[in-house]
Amino acid sequence: MSAFVSNCYIYPLKSACRVELESMTINYAGPNDDRRWMLVHAEGDKRGKFISQRDKGCEKLALVQARKSGSAWVFENPDDSGKLSSHDFERDMFKDAKNPGGPGLVQIWKSELYAKDMGDEAAQWFSNYLGIPVRMVSQEQGDPRKVDPDFSEKGDYVTFADGFPLLITNTASLDSLQPHFAEGANIIMDRFRTNIVIDGLEPFKEDAIHTMQINDTILELVKPCARCVITTIDQDKGAKSSVSEPTKTLGRMRKGISPDLKGVFFGQNAIPRQLGNSRISVGDKVEVLQTRPMHPALEHAALKYVAP
């Protein structure tokens, strides 16, 4: 069976609910509208630092839904009959102590960059929902965020995703893990917050792919994705699962370490190398252009790709 795209997802607000698409437009920083906005702490020592489902009490970000309405994105949460539209966002700037009156400096992992504040209405709406003071920001044009230089080329950049423009996963890889999960664990692909899901590959074949082509878009798979506690949060409930899955099983079956990388792995981070018409749609054929040896961190994993 030929490999093909089975699902496409974006996450307009970092760490909020996925949006499933039949077709997505790719740019060099990733899919359009993916991680376009982000929440940051508004006060204290963490002021300006990004917020995600990893933060205690913020697991319910998973329930914040986004939908397109004309040219705007509308956000809704299950605890509020109201909704917030991007058309209503004020355009005042985040006031940072280091740069008064200008765009604010925010932090996401090791990156610091200037971001545009989306106004008091958005801040209040999300603060009420999470129960902590937050601000909502968008990436400021002209201040691109660089990709980890150990796994990228000069000029590669990303938005508010954790580290890379795209995350690609393989249905067969998750299927091969299912028998090892604890009884009662309901682990589906949404736990891994992927952008592109591929069907028709052998289990963990993605770990050995260097480049692939979808339509006339060429993607380079640059790094195994190390998984974190977010995978243990039920994305339909916005709460941590009672069983520590899938990380418990990944720790047995997909754990690895090398001089430059360690963790438990599922999926591959990817960077667009050629865009063409830049459209990727469900059902599109996936052509493997180049393969290479899997990353050394995966060599001793109990479950891994074995070349025919």
Q: What's 247's domain CATH number? A: 2.40.33.20
Name beta bridge partners: 69. 72
Q: Answer yes or no: are the C-beta atoms of 231 and 243 closer than 8 Å.
A: no
For the record, the structure tokens of 41 come out as: 């702490």
Q: Is 70 found in the same domain as 22? A: no
Residue 64, in any domain of the structure: yes
pLDDT at 83: 81
**Distance from C-alpha of 34 to C-alpha of 24, rounded to nearest angstrom:** 10
Domains in the chain: how many in total?
2
pLDDT band for position 93 (cuts 50, 70, 90): very low
- Higher-confidence residue of 100 and 20: namely 20
Q: Which of 85, 118, 143 is the last residue of a domain?
A: 143
Residue 305, in any domain of the structure: no
pLDDT band for position 102 (cuts 50, 70, 90): very low
For the record, the structure tokens of 115 come out as: 């971001």
Q: Is 152 found in the same domain as 12? A: yes
Q: Answer yes or no: are the C-beta atoms of 131 and 144 closer than 8 Å.
A: no
Q: Which of 97, 125, 143 is the last residue of a domain?
A: 143
pLDDT above 70: residue 100: no
**Distance from C-alpha of 221 to C-alpha of 271, rounded to nearest angstrom:** 7
Q: Examine residue 246 and say whether the peptide bond preceding it is cis (omega within 30 degrees of 0).
A: yes
Q: Could you say which DSSP state residue 194 is in? A: -
Single-letter residue type at 274 = Q
Q: Is 235 found in the same domain as 162? A: yes
pTM comes to 0.94
Query: Residue 230: how many CB atoms within 10 A of its CB?
Result: 20
Which residues are within 8 A (CB) of 26 and not within 5 positions of it... i.e. 6 or more apart? Answer: 32, 166, 217, 272, 275, 278, 279, 280
pLDDT at 98: 46
Burial 114-148 (b: 16+ CB within 10 A, else e): bbbbbbeebbebbbebbebebbbbbbbeeebbebb
Q: Is 151 found in the same domain as 290? A: yes
pLDDT above 80: residue 28: yes
pLDDT at 97: 42
pLDDT at 85: 79
For residue 117, what are the domain limits?
37-143
**Distance from C-alpha of 11 to C-alpha of 65, rounded to nearest angstrom:** 9
